[in-house]
Amino acid sequence: MSPHEGQEQVSPTFIPRHVAIIMDGNGRWAKQRGLPRTDGHLRGQDALRATLRAAAEFGVEYLTVYAFSTENWGRPKEEVDALMELLVSAIHSETPDLMKEGVRIRAIGDLERLPEKARRSLMDCIEETKHNKQITLILALSYSSRDELTRAVRGIVSDVQRGVLRPEDIDEDVLSRHLDTASFPDPDLLIRTGGEERISNYLLWQVAYAELFFSSVYWPDFGKEALREALDAYASRERRFGKTSEQIQLED
């Protein structure tokens, strides 16, 4: 897939359709500078804006970001409250630009746990941007993969109990259709910033065959050039999906 006409190209033949990011390092970025953690989250918002624009420019169709995990509810109340307020203010301030730039907003996770004000702002933004087509930004909020899989299994059990699904018909496709990400393609590339090298309960089912890229850059410093580095690394890899190199070459 090639980027849109007039956009800067980065390995155009191998641009991933869907990029997922674990935005890590806000707190450590702030601590290094003697700043409160909330300042790191504020700068992280700037990094997301820059990365989203770069992703659209390079031709990425879907960008999923780990904005707030289920486990994050266990952080100090003051930080959680600040993050929820930041979410609301960011949605209000960013929606006009999202509309101008053709960004469609979607969300995954246990959204019922969000405060009413944050959930209402999010739903309004999703509704307002639903016809945009340049790039889809998927916010993983109150999300963890194990929670998502647990909810998916409950849904499948419910379908079986109601007689709309036979146990023998349950397969990978059925499970995928019960996930929060049912309407999106699986990620091709997973990026984690901040120097840590783990997946942290993020899209465990969906990244089964994704390429992984770990960046030492703290999230507030991430942007176009750091994304370019990840995309170049992705383009240099051979995706075999369990096959041999010879089989892939024959298919090409």
The predicted-structure confidence for 200-250, as pLDDT tens digits, reads as follows: 999 999 999 999 999 999 999 999 999 999 999 999 987 655 655 555 555
Return the pLDDT at 226.
98
Q: Which residues are annotated as a binding site?
A: 24-29, 37, 41, 69-71, 73, 75, 192, 198-200, 211
Q: 6: number of CA atoms within 13 Å, CB side?
A: 0
Q: 3-state SS of the chain?
A: CCCCCCCCCCCHHHCCCEEEEECCCHHHHHHHCCCCHHHHHHHHHHHHHHHHHHHHHHCCCEEEEEEEEHHHHHCCHHHHHHHHHHHHHHHHHHHHHHHHCCEEEEEECCHHHCCHHHHHHHHHHHHHCCCCCCEEEEEEEEECHHHHHHHHHHHHHHHHHCCCCCHHHCCHHHHHHCCCCCCCCCCCEEEECCCCCCCCCCCCCCCCCCEEEECCCCHHHCCHHHHHHHHHHHHCCCCCCCCCHHHHHHHC
Domain residue ranges of the chain, discontinuous segments joined by + = 12-144+186-251
Tens digits of residue pLDDT in 29-41: 999 999 998 899 9
Return the pLDDT at 252.
57
> Of 24, 180, 188, 221, which residue is the catalytic one?
24
Confidence (pTM): 0.89
Return the pLDDT at 152.
98
201 is catalytic: no
For the cut 70, the answer to whether the pLDDT of residue 105 exceeds it is yes
Q: Which residues are annotated as a binding site for Mg(2+)?
A: 24, 211
Return the pLDDT at 3.
39
Mean pLDDT along residues 155-176: 97
Average pLDDT score over the chain: 91
Mean pLDDT along residues 119-134: 96
**Closest C-alpha among 173, 135, 138 to residue 156:** 173
CATH number for region 12-144+186-251: 3.40.1180.10
Q: 166: number of CA atoms within 13 Å, CB side?
A: 2
> Of 39, 72, 110, 201, which residue is the catalytic one?
72
Mean pLDDT along residues 132-152: 97
Contact 1, 7 (CB under 8 A): no
Return the pLDDT at 38.
87
Q: Which residues are annotated as a binding site for substrate?
A: 25-29, 37, 41, 69-71, 73, 75, 192, 198-200
Return the pLDDT at 14.
87
Query: What percentage of the chain has pLDDT greater than the value 70?
Result: 89
24 is catalytic: yes
Return the pLDDT at 126.
97
**pLDDT-based confidence at residue 51 (cuts at 50, 70, 90):** very high
